[in-house]
Amino acid sequence: MILFILYEFVTDKQKGASGGNISNYLLIEELSKHKEVLVLAPNVPVDLCAELESKGISVISDSHEFRPPFRNLKKRVWFSKAITTYILQNSRIMANLDIIITSNGTCDLTRNFPKKGVRNFIICRAFEDFFDHSSYYPLKEQIRRNIRRFTSAKKISTAYRSADMIITNSAFMQNFINKRYPNSNVKILYPPIDIPLKPFKYLTDHPRIGIINPSDRKGEKMFLSLANSNPNLNFVYFSQYPKNYTTSNISYGGWLSDREELFSKIDILIAPSVWDEPFGRVSVEAVRSGLPVLVSNTGGLPETVDDYFIVKTPSLENWNCKLLELLASPREVKNAWERSATKSASFEQTQHNIVAFEIFT
């Protein structure tokens, strides 16, 4: 049996679901074809529980409103009680359990499990467990992280050092983890991309340049600067809520969980992130939807596209030059897209499933 202990569990059907949420869902669905899978997480939607159970995946979840203050502490108390009540005291689960998979936020919760016969894997797709990494967190999140550093840093470090395997989502993250825990067994499992490869979409005379979830760390300032520098071009942003942009050539595309519909509204995707994106799922999805993509030379983003689509240095001049170069060089753009599409085969769900099978079974 494989037990997933997850801080949260939703799918792309829920508004605001992250790439990690989607990857967890697809991984659990695949592993359930080969082994018995049990998921422990709070507040799993009722319809998702029913869907998983129809596929033979067991779910342990309670509905709780973890209100502030100390929302995260209350959630961890729930985990401790749930692990004791539903897992450790269940003889059938303990007799069949051979792998525990935790993620950011739950990796230190396995200390009461037996040390022999049960392997501990950590899926690390982001920086929540690394308190020395600055990721442009807002002030409220910085305060929360400092509190967690004081209460949990030592336990988290112990969990990483003692893990049988650490699974991450890019070569960038693999190197990042190896530098902090040199003797660890760190494997790459690229996020599964389930979008079929579509033909290249040739640029029109008036292309629409899109960005998803603009924020400080995702390059919102660069997006606005590019729009101001190119009043003849149309810029579109997608987010949960509209923003108060005053630039006339920027429009709001809404929030669309359907990637096909989302990418039909733009002709070029930009990802001008200023932080270390652990992977860059959206850039792969855009390429596989037939779009050229421009990405920052940060984190795992450069692994997702051809070198031609990487903006090497983060200045407005370089971003503007690269964007205009795309508009003026259709043949080079198509060739770069084709190389990016070939690279994207490494991220297809079928390849993900092959690697997942090798790791987990």
Q: What does the pLDDT read at residue 16?
A: 59
* Amino acid type, 347: F
Contact, 103 vs 6, CB < 8 A?
yes
What are the C-alpha distances in Å from 223 to residues 5, 210, 262?
37, 9, 18
Separation of alpha carbons 108 and 244, rounded Å: 41
Taking only Cα atoms into account, the Rg of the chain, rounded to an integer number of angstroms, comes to: 21
Residue 119 token pair = 């392997």
Tell me what pLDDT residue 3 has: 98
Q: What pLDDT score was predicted for residue 204?
A: 87
pLDDT at 138: 75
Tokens 């049996």 belong to 1
What pLDDT, on the 0 to 100 scale, is given for residue 12?
66
- Kind and range of the H or E element at 178? helix 171-180
Helix (H, G, I), strand (E, B) or coil at 297: coil
Q: How far is CA 133 from the centre of its chain?
A: 17
Q: What is the mean pLDDT of each run of 10 residues along the chain (361 residues)?
A: 94 71 92 96 93 96 88 90 96 96 93 91 94 75 78 92 97 97 96 93 93 95 97 96 95 90 96 95 96 97 98 96 96 98 95 94 82
